[in-house]
Structure formats: structure tokens, C-alpha cells
Amino acid sequence: MGEFRIEKDSMGELQVPQDAAYGAQTQRAVDNFPISGITMPKAFIQALGLVKQACANANHELGGLDENRRRAISSICDDVINGQLMDQFPLDIFQTGSATSTNMNANEVIANLASDEAGDKVHPNDHVNMSQSSNDVIPTTIHVSAAITCHQQLIPAINYLITSIDKKAKSVENVVTTGRTHLMDAMPVSLGQELSGWSAQLQAALLHIENTLPEIHKLAIGGTAVGTGINADKSFGKLVAEQLSNSTGLSFKEADNRFASLSSQDAAVALSGQLKTLATSLMKISNDLRWMNSGPLAGIGEIALPALQPGSSIMPGKVNPVIPEATAMVCAQVIGNDTTITIAGQSGNFQLNVMLPLVAHTLLQSIETLSNVSRLLADKAIAGFTVNEDNINSALAKNPILVTALNTVIGYELGAKIAKTAYAEKRAVIDVAEEMTDLSRKELEVLLDPKKMI
């Protein structure tokens, strides 16, 4: 019995672990939702600390919270923000759809620890949750956490990857290789041109993400239970947004319509859609790298990715493209997450969306994993791959599609015969063309120079 203490809430008494800073409502949720073992993301809990701190400061400014309690609440919120109290947030993401349990988890932890610091009773509802409801706190925290992780992690990571690709593209801009459409040989391109396509994809994806963030910066706080703002000063939401802007350096503001911000997750759905687009681009880039690296003898073998680890438990010497594979798996997860967030976004019933914890988990997972894997792709795949020019030049010389450059001189029909003959006899196109046309070797060398075709 010494390992537990007795706490009570409006539903009665129950046992809570002796060393837990949380109280009865959190314990009820621990007991009610032993579902996945997946707890709310660290970035979300840290953002929740920021929101609670901003609310305490705003309530103090409005005269509702005394300085001693404000200071104590703010101090404990600093610990939450710094990630020092994560063990006090044990709740499963599959819980009440409003995440009331997580809001009360934060209220109880902050109140209990702040009471010790203040030397006075700090109440989880009356003080820490003053002027708030779970229904506006949780949507606000989703937006704050998503905005912070996008600005601090995702945008820098994608810019880092773009820079890495651009640098590599510059170093291989004079390497001409066989282009491929339908996975079949096509007209030549330079490796620099190939990589420029990757860079452009990522730049476009990043621009679209940045264009969705102004909606993420709009906060539901101040709407309280149903959007009307009951029990909150009319200026409360504005003051909290200002406090959050000051503490994060981001431009947060009140939602244009609090009824929409409580009942929908449209901004999160929109951001997730852009994350899916980014994942689609990264999947394409990863698969290109895997194909280009394939071999080393029986595949395309145009490049060699850095050898990072043994590739087989049974085949000695095998090395696999592990970073592009990991990237592709992240992309598959993010694409699936977008479907989850879309379905969750549809679950706004009247005045409240009731899949908020799921939105928080999946959205942050997408942002964080895309951020992490983009840096790995830059450092452990793009920056370090080497070019196998012998393989590239050998294949390019025999590429029957080179004959396309002769179309305007000899016509399509004769060009097709030359291409088929060169392919069947596994000979260089220039040698076959010299035999089947009246063009001189010198003329053919000029017309069939791959560098002039790109």
C-alpha cells in the first residue's frame, strides 16, 4: 500500500502511484486505455507546456491569476517544455477523442508540482486550466507543435537535402548517361539534369508546405468548450497567441472562426496532404537511387552508394542501398498517415473533432520522420555516391535510341532499322549507321555526340 496514495476527483477515490505527479483523472485514463502503448509525442507534450505557460501569463495579465501561482505554473511549464517530465505523461494516444485525458494529465502534473513551488494550493482546473477547455487547448497544441517541428526540423532538413542534391548535381553535370522512359533506354541526359529534377521536386514540395503554415499558425485558444468562449475573457485568445509568438519566435494569432477551429482539423489535413506530396517526391528519388545503384554487376550500376553495413546474413560481401530503402519506408508511412489524418479530419461532429490525439500523433510522426530521413538521405546517400563512368559510357555507346538524332537527316524508317540492327548485334550505333547510310564517320561523330543531345 505504501507504493500508492489515494486521490479523488468528481467521480470518487482511487489509487495513484506514490511517485506520480499526476492525479486521479490521469490514473483513470491509464486504467481505461491500455491499448497501444504509444504515448503522446514528446513534441506535443512540450508544446502543451508552452500553451499552459502562455495561458497562465495571459490570465495573470487579465487579473485572474495571482503572481505567485503564475510564477509557479510557469516554472513547472518550463520543465515540461524542456522535456524533463515526460515520464509523467503515460497516456495512450487512443483515448478520449478530445484528448481531455491528456489536457487533465498536464493540468494535474503542473498543479501538483506548482503547489509545492508556490507554497500554496494550485488547482488543476481552477488555476492551470483557467479560461480554457480541452476542446480549444488540444487543437491549439496540435497547431503549435506542428508549426514548431515544421520550422525547426522539417524546413531546415529539406533545404539541407536540396543543397546536397544541388552540390552533387554540379559535380556530375558533365556526365552524360542513358535516359530512361518506361524503364527502357531513351535519349541521353546528364546526371546533373537528372538531379536537377529531384531538386525541383523538393523545392516545389517545400514551397507548398510553407504556404500551408499560415493556417497552422491560427489557434483555437479562447474558444473554450464549443467556440463561444464561455468562461474566458474576450481578449484571452489574442493574448495567448501573443505569448506563444514571443516564446517561439513564430507568428501565431487567433483563429478567424473558433467554431471551425474546434470542430475541424482542416489545416492539419492540408498540411498532411503537402507532407504526402513531399513523401511522394522522396519515394521517387529513393527508387531512382536504388535503380542507379543496382548491381554491382547484373544491374544498372551507374553509381555506387556508400557502403554502410553488411547486406546479408548469408551472402558475404553483399551491400544494400539501406538509406534509400529506409527513406521509402518512411514515405509509405507518411502516405498512410495522410489517409489516417483525412479520416480523422472528417470526424468533426457538430462543435468538436473527436480524433484529436490521433491527428497529433500521426501529423507529428510524419513531420519528424521526414525531417530525420531527409538529412540521412543527404549525408549517407546523395553526398557520398560515386559515378561508374565506364558502365555509363559503355551502355551509352550501344544505346540504339541515339539514332533519334539522325531522324532529320535519314528519316525515321531507316533510323529504326539502324537501331534494331545495333541492338540485335550489340554494336555501337555509330558503327552500324556508318554501314547503313551515306554519312561519313566524321559526320556521324558530330550528329551522334551525346553531349550535343542534352
Nearest to 52, CA basis, from 227, 243, 251: 243
Distance of alpha carbon 177 from alpha carbon 191, whole angstroms? 7
Phi, psi of 419 (to 5 degrees): -60, -45
How far apart are alpha carbons 308 and 229 in whole angstroms? Answer: 56
Q: How far apart are the first and last CA of the chain?
A: 79
Question: What are the residues whose beta carbons fall under 8 Å from the beta carbon of 203, sequence distance 6 or more?
Answer: 162
Instruction: Point out the residues that are catalytic.
Output: 182, 312
CB neighbour class for 333 (10 Å; exposed up to 12, middle 13-18, buried from 19)? middle
Query: Could you write out the DSSP letters of every residue in 176-228?
Result: EEEEEETTEEEEEEEHHHHHHHHHHHHHHHHHHHHHHHHHHTEE-TT-TTTSS
Q: What CA–CA distance (Å, rounded) separates 382 from 232?
A: 52
DSSP 3-state of 14: strand
Q: In Å, how far are 84, 114, 417 from 76, measured between CA atoms? A: 10, 6, 79
